[in-house]
Structure 1
């Protein structure tokens, strides 16, 4: 038996008991006649001590040889500590060691394995197995497990069945780029790794599994960001014989359950917001509603004077920054420089101070009088002491620019509190979006999303006006889930694929299996998929998903620990019928 107890388990109730512990050496403090060792495992830390008056010379010598991260086993007697440590769960006791076995020696770690470490991101990624020993990473992985178990328990209690779907599937032209896998036994042919189990879960609905879920790995070969990985985990769900309201209620319940279980916070009914309102009021389709600063469209009250910048703009829009009048001119100039950065792309910013006495002072006083500026304040909801920030230009671009400024100001003002949770549903998305590069419409979600009832005829006359029976769940300015009511009949699916540019032959080749299944009695169905990595990070008070993944990739999509991706040898290439292709 390597251990009778864990290193986080012992307390005053164990005093005088003989126990066996195993773990890693966190640190050694040699006082000459007495040696103290901090022993660590997943559960906590226990202080060991060796006393030359009570320990043999061999045991003292062995203790002196210990180094950081040595793996050891000790046996000894639990005693009450004279100097207690209130910062750890075992701080009332220590272990007088009677025997010590070194199970494995360790090289000196390349960084300090403590909560506050001297290791940079790249170094810790290279030695991730050491990084996992640190409490912040370890606790994040335990937290992920707890959230995952909470999801499984909730959905199982709601009658959902967990079903696994294939990882080796067929590549489709819609969505992000696929990771492809060459087939050794079928020369010149390839599998694709799934971006989502979408078609399979729809087939499960045809098969009568009316409540399905799966916590599943998905893969997208796309550019990476802090909240994106080439492989990610989804909570994938589908339900049959449901309408949109049924799905929203079910997964609102799941989200409310998780927030309550994790943080003890009760959330009321989630607000609903249309896509159009989200874009008009916040400039993006995943608004953070923990704070105000809603957009105010100023065209009617800003385009009646001789200020050409506003008069030539498609949209003039502003936000009121609470307490922003306290900003100095230098601070405002820095904000202007911030919106001019290439990442934001604004040409400039107009501002207006709302003074405590009710008067206004703007950067365009030459063109606008006090009555004009009072109307700006009314439209943006500005109060005395606030600062109005105004951008102008082409509608889509200026909304995105002001949205970025709004989020930056909220960060600077401390309005994005990690212990506050503001979920909402965004509904009524456009079914299609126009792509300038290919000069055709693409599905905003995917080709299997149904249009709103009664709108399918608009696909011929005004495709951009068709609304999707789709919904996103947003939490604290992040999309954590999205889904839709699906098309469940062959005719409608064929119409949809036609408008997405598929010929009859292409539609048959890509999705014939699904359309055939629809002819055998497909029920009305819909579903949703949560990004587990992102959900866990937000519930954990962070927005970087890598901190909650055991072995993440870096921003170049590389695993620097195992050095992947990597070349393969000529023999493997030849077996996969790839050698000639790569050489040519």
Structure 2
């Protein structure tokens, strides 16, 4: 085998005159005539130009060189020299070329359905990219993404090891405890009729590691959830998972904030500065979402108290709505300069846009030096002074108003805020805005099931001053949960955990788990809590979504080496697929397909 002395991106002018060898793929092939044949050879490190002088080469070398085609795998040896013609300043090796003296063809390639220098992924088509993933991954963009992923995981291991964390692997075959998404299940051949589940997260195992005295745990793990398709979701995904003992909320947030600083500094050369904090209620009130994009300067303001005396039926009917203990409301967004920037076509479109969130539409008013104009102006004019003060209105601004139940109005205006920000180009795409969202409600009321459900998960502790509300007013109880948000995307989430068995049993009871159900599903956790569980908390960083931000893609499949399609299939290996009937029988099973409901 003709073994390389350099990678294809290493040769430099200082190496001129040396005999070197390169291994790689034929990236381009150019027969210039005049007895010269040019080949660009490519590997993980870059490109280097190779020149075959056919007039002075041996007949064997000439025959080999003329037979080369794109994506052939070769080894080539020769003398490195100053590049003939103009240097190629786009390449690190652009000042030199290899004058070939020896060639070995390791493997001939068929005509590829994808070429590594095809930069337009949309033109290639995702189905083709996933079917021929081994070629798609040769593209420089994909090489860069996966090498960035490798840097991030190494950085994570180094950072947390330096802070006293032990990396511990948790099981992949576990007990099914369906409390969130649907489990992937695995039949147990040695225990026929019984099943394993694949883990949706290592949550309970990492808590048990704290009970076991490991103090600080880290794992880069796979999580699997049998969820319905979504563009930014994969059935199997990776997270940077950690847990800490004898900590409070700020300790975990400080540790994870330090990691975020390290990642953005080392990968992007960006200083994220101090990470802001905001309560869940403040985020919902001001931005209409619990993961606000702070690059967008638009904010929501509630004006219910100001317009409560209005005779406008839309306002009055909204204010009278009550659901889950919350009354209706009237909310508004001030759009600076909106009188000129927002066209009639745009505002009509906004009314249609918000209807998908089950509200009636958007009321629009322009504000001038003399007062409100157009739309609902006559209904706002009596409250002009109070509205000017509340919304900080200036002449030339526009006001967008939604009146409905609190949940509906908040959701609609939150989404509308994002759309208006995009339409008017208000978001600085080069900026990174980080935010900790804290003080989430502990529970949410499920109207269909007529019961409380845990907003994070049922192992999240109440805030230290909120324990008494578990029994008296669970709807007002705030949790010790926290989410890390960047540019409107949640990239990490965690909480301080319940470490007392009596509190855990109360939470189980609140969410409708009987003592028997709790023992059957979580008896091992309750037992651990009875045997000396320390105060502890943790967090998980979504590795795939983190990478999406770092490399600038909105397609989660770009940052995973071998992803599934949106419907959960693997086009390269043609999975899922049938299995041998004997394997089914060995598990004591038979397959009966049910007709799908129409």
Partner residue in 2 for 1:352: 365
Over aligned residues, Cα RMSD in angstroms?
Answer: 2.0
Partner residue in 2 for 1:256: 261
Aligned-partner Cα distance in 1 for 2:557–2:426: 24
1:55-70 equivalences in 2 (<5 Å)? 55-70=57-72
Partner residue in 2 for 1:88: 91
Aligned-partner Cα distance in 2 for 1:582–1:333: 49
Secondary structure of 2:379 counterpart: coil
Q: 2:373 pairs with 347, 361, 367, which one?
A: 361
Aligned-partner Cα distance in 2 for 1:581–1:487: 42
| Contact 2:372–2:380 (Cα < 8 Å) also in 1 | no
Aligned-partner Cα distance in 2 for 1:578–1:265: 56
1:316-395 equivalences in 2 (<5 Å)? 316-324=330-338, 325-340=340-355, 342=356, 344-355=357-368, 360-369=372-381, 372=383, 375-395=386-406
Partner residue in 2 for 1:315: 329
Which blocks of at least 5 consecutive residues in structure 1 are unaligned?
Answer: none
Say whether residues 1:438 and 2:449 are aligned partners: yes
Q: 2:116 pairs with 113, 116, 119, which one?
A: 113
Aligned-partner Cα distance in 1 for 2:64–2:336: 64
Partner residue in 2 for 1:426: 437
Q: 1:274 pairs with 279, 291, 294, which one?
A: 279
Change in Cα spacing, 1:373 to 1:136, as seen in structure 2 (3 Å) is: farther
Change in Cα spacing, 1:337 to 1:499, as seen in structure 2 (3 Å) is: closer
Partner residue in 2 for 1:505: 516
Deviation per CA, 1:42-88: give whole Å up to 9, x if none: 11011111123332344233222221111111111111112111111
Say whether residues 1:549 and 2:549 are aligned partners: no
| Contact 1:442–1:500 (Cα < 8 Å) also in 2 | yes
Q: CA deviation at 1:90?
A: 0.9
Q: 2:532 pairs with 521, 525, 535, which one?
A: 521
Partner residue in 2 for 1:27: 28
Change in Cα spacing, 1:103 to 1:293, as seen in structure 2 (3 Å) is: same
Deviation per CA, 1:180-237: give whole Å up to 9, x if none: 1110110110111111111111111111100111010011111232221111111111
Aligned-partner Cα distance in 2 for 1:204–1:418: 41
| Contact 1:162–1:213 (Cα < 8 Å) also in 2 | yes
Aligned-partner Cα distance in 2 for 1:540–1:347: 39
Partner residue in 2 for 1:492: 503
Q: 2:215 pairs with 210, 215, 222, which one?
A: 210
Q: CA deviation at 1:524?
A: 0.9
Paired residues in the alignment total: 580
Partner residue in 2 for 1:223: 228
| Contact 1:220–1:230 (Cα < 8 Å) also in 2 | yes
| Contact 2:47–2:93 (Cα < 8 Å) also in 1 | yes
1:527-566 equivalences in 2 (<5 Å)? 527-566=538-577
Q: 2:416 pairs with 398, 405, 411, which one?
A: 405
Structure 1 length-normalised TM? 0.95
| Contact 1:323–1:387 (Cα < 8 Å) also in 2 | yes
Change in Cα spacing, 1:367 to 1:455, as seen in structure 2 (3 Å) is: closer
Aligned-partner Cα distance in 1 for 2:423–2:62: 55
State which drifts further: 127-136 or 567-576.
567-576
| Contact 1:360–1:374 (Cα < 8 Å) also in 2 | no
State which drifts further: 324-333 or 90-99.
324-333
Aligned-partner Cα distance in 1 for 2:350–2:512: 44
Say whether residues 1:187 and 2:187 are aligned partners: no
Deviation per CA, 1:438-464: give whole Å up to 9, x if none: 221111111111112243332233221
| Contact 1:377–1:388 (Cα < 8 Å) also in 2 | no
Change in Cα spacing, 1:141 to 1:101, as seen in structure 2 (3 Å) is: same
| Contact 1:67–1:106 (Cα < 8 Å) also in 2 | yes
Which blocks of at least 5 consecutive residues in structure 2 are unaligned?
Answer: 319-327
| Contact 2:296–2:418 (Cα < 8 Å) also in 1 | no
| Contact 1:275–1:427 (Cα < 8 Å) also in 2 | yes
Say whether residues 1:469 and 2:473 are aligned partners: no
Partner residue in 2 for 1:457: 468
Change in Cα spacing, 1:291 to 1:61, as seen in structure 2 (3 Å) is: same
Aligned-partner Cα distance in 2 for 1:383–1:128: 55
Secondary structure of 2:114 counterpart: coil
Secondary structure of 2:499 counterpart: coil
| Contact 1:206–1:518 (Cα < 8 Å) also in 2 | yes
Q: CA deviation at 1:132?
A: 0.6
| Contact 1:283–1:400 (Cα < 8 Å) also in 2 | yes
Aligned-partner Cα distance in 1 for 2:459–2:542: 19
Aligned-partner Cα distance in 1 for 2:140–2:385: 53
